[in-house]
Amino acid sequence: MSEHSHGDRHDHARTFQPDHDSGGPLPYLQVMEIATRELLIEKGIITPGEVSRQIERMDARGHSRGARVVARAWTDRQYKSRLLANGRAGCDELGITDLEALHLVVVENTEKVHNVIVCTLCSCYPKPLLGLPPAWYKSLPYRRRMVREPRAVLKEFGVELPEDVVVRVHDSTADMRYLVLPRRPEGTAGWSEERLAGIVSRDCLIGVALPLVGKS
């Protein structure tokens, strides 16, 4: 008897989220969500307007708070140490509230280390800081390939790293969420935090891009 036969007993579906845009019939929970929402509206407990506003609020939550955290860390060395020691406390310090149950690990890019974030099991993402994840972050090819061949995937994103830079992939498998602290680019001496935050794109914070001066 095989100790590990990939057969009936494995219920991958329980943990493993299918591809974001795989099509096909709606999954059970999505059907339940629609049914519950329609019932709540029918019974007058919530209104369609409230649902739309909440969706708009979530959609509007971009990556600006993540960029602010990075800009502060670039300009204040002691703040950076505190942020790396405790990501959540670093956000609290900037008065960033509404973080829900965020347990934040901030990983720092250096001359020798490049960090990148993925969630292979589903699509865990630091939404309170970065907003909703892009579709590619939730796609199977990204999730599958980023742990398997990160340098090839990074290259496709336009980030080509020399062999002597260590690539650290962080798989967000449980309760922690991650934010990449990119390297501050050359040519930004004397910039204000606001101006610095302007060159920190969402993709920089995931680790699939580098901040560029003159492209913002």
Partner 1 sequence: MKARFRPGETVAVRAAYPPGHIRTPYYVRGKRGVIERICGEFANPEELAFGRDGLPKRALYRVRFRQRQVWPDYAGAGEDTVDVEIFEHWLEPAAGEGAG
Binding site for partner 1 (CB under 8 A): 4, 9-11, 14-15, 103, 105, 120-121, 147-152, 163-176
Nearer to partner 1, 175 or 186 (CB): 175
Nearer to partner 1, 140 or 167 (CB): 167
Nearest to 169 by CA among 119, 96, 94: 119
CB of 62 to partner 1, least distance (A): 26
Q: Is the dihedral of CA 184, 188, 193, 198 positive or negative?
A: negative
Active site includes 122? yes
Is 123 a catalytic site residue?
yes
Closest to partner 1 by CB, 143 or 184: 143
Q: Supply φ then ψ for residue 119, to 5 degrees.
A: -130, 105
The C-alpha atoms of residue 179 and residue 71 are separated, in whole angstroms, by 13
Tell me whether residue 115 or residue 201 sits nearer to partner 1 (CB atom).
115
Minimum separation from the CB atom of position 167 to partner 1 (A): 5
Other CB atoms within a 10 A radius of the CB of residue 86 amount to 16
H-helix or E-strand spanning residue 116: strand 113-118
The CA R_g of the chain, rounded to the nearest whole Å, is 20
Tally of residues, the chain: 216
**CA dist 18 → 10, 14, 61, 111, 129 (Å):** 15, 10, 25, 36, 25
Nearer to partner 1 among residue 41 and residue 169 (C-beta): 169
Of the listed 22, 52, 81, 122, which one is catalytic? Answer: 122
> Phi and psi at residue 169, in whole multiples of 5°?
-90, 135
**How far apart are alpha carbons 146 and 167 in whole angstroms?**
11
CB of 197 to partner 1, least distance (A): 27
| Catalytic residue flag (residue 91) | no
| CB of residue 194 to partner 1, shortest distance in Å | 32
Q: 3-state class of 204 per DSSP?
A: helix
State the catalytic residue, choosing from 22, 52, 64, 124.
124
CA distance 84 to 88: 9
Q: At its nearest, how many Å lie between partner 1 and the CB of residue 172?
A: 7
The catalytic position among 91, 119, 172, 201 is 119
**Which residue numbers are catalytic?**
119, 122-124
